[in-house]
Amino acid sequence: MPESTDSDLWVTWDAYHLAIERLALLVHESGWKFDQVLCLARGGLRPGDVFSRIFDVPLAILSTSSYREANGMQQGALDIASHITTTEGALQGRVLLIDDLVDSGVTLARVQEHLSQYFPAVTEVKTAVIWYKACSVFRPDFYLEYLSTNPWIHQPFEEYDGIRAHQLAAWMKKGEGLTDLS
């Protein structure tokens, strides 16, 4: 794993899981109670799942997408899915909106607007992220780490961005990085 710098933050699986747990503890210690977790797919899926289990509240999922350009490293137009997936009926009450990070802040701000417009039964929304970049126009209610230099965050699951199903068996057999696959 490369060393982190002001422009690149490299995160291992262990550090990633610990960060989610530390964020959950931060939210718990705040005393704020919520009825549901709404995670933003894809980056908020893992934190949302962990929060749903730890706090024993229903998990709802909303797909959003803006990082499609330049192999996922350049932000484009924001797309918000028209439906929220949950097994607990309509989204309502106090909702913790969770994602992995806030970069520009556009996604969290627009999703909050979306919730107020289309989900009137939601009475309160608070936001939680692991990483909060200084360049963001949106300040989350809960965050674990403030990143003043706005580094690109290299998360451990990004290794799957460069592998395709037909390469998986060889990748698992070798136990090596993706650069050795053709």
Based on its alpha-carbon atoms, the radius of gyration of the chain, rounded to whole angstroms, reads 17
58 — pLDDT class (breaks 50, 70, 90): very high
Residue 3 lies inside a defined structural domain of this protein: no
Residue 31 lies inside a defined structural domain of this protein: yes
Average of per-residue pLDDT values in the chain: 89
Residue 48 lies inside a defined structural domain of this protein: yes
Residue 129 lies inside a defined structural domain of this protein: yes
Range of the structural domain that residue 146 is part of: 8-157
Number of domains in the chain: 1
Q: How many CB atoms lie within 10 A of CB 94?
A: 15
pLDDT value of position 178: 46
Residue 111 lies inside a defined structural domain of this protein: yes
pLDDT in tens, 119-170: 999 999 999 999 999 999 999 999 999 999 999 999 998 888 888 899 888 8
pLDDT in tens, 36-56: 999 999 899 999 999 999 999
173 — pLDDT class (breaks 50, 70, 90): confident
With residues binned 3-state (H G I as helix, E B as strand, rest as coil), the percentages for the chain, rounded to 5, are 35, 25, 40
Report the SS3 class of residue 171.
helix
Gap between the Cα atoms of 110 and 116, Å rounded: 10
pTM, 2 dp: 0.86
Residue 164 lies inside a defined structural domain of this protein: no
Residue 1 lies inside a defined structural domain of this protein: no
Residue 52 lies inside a defined structural domain of this protein: yes
Report the SS3 class of residue 165.
helix
Find the CATH number of the domain harbouring 14: 3.40.50.2020
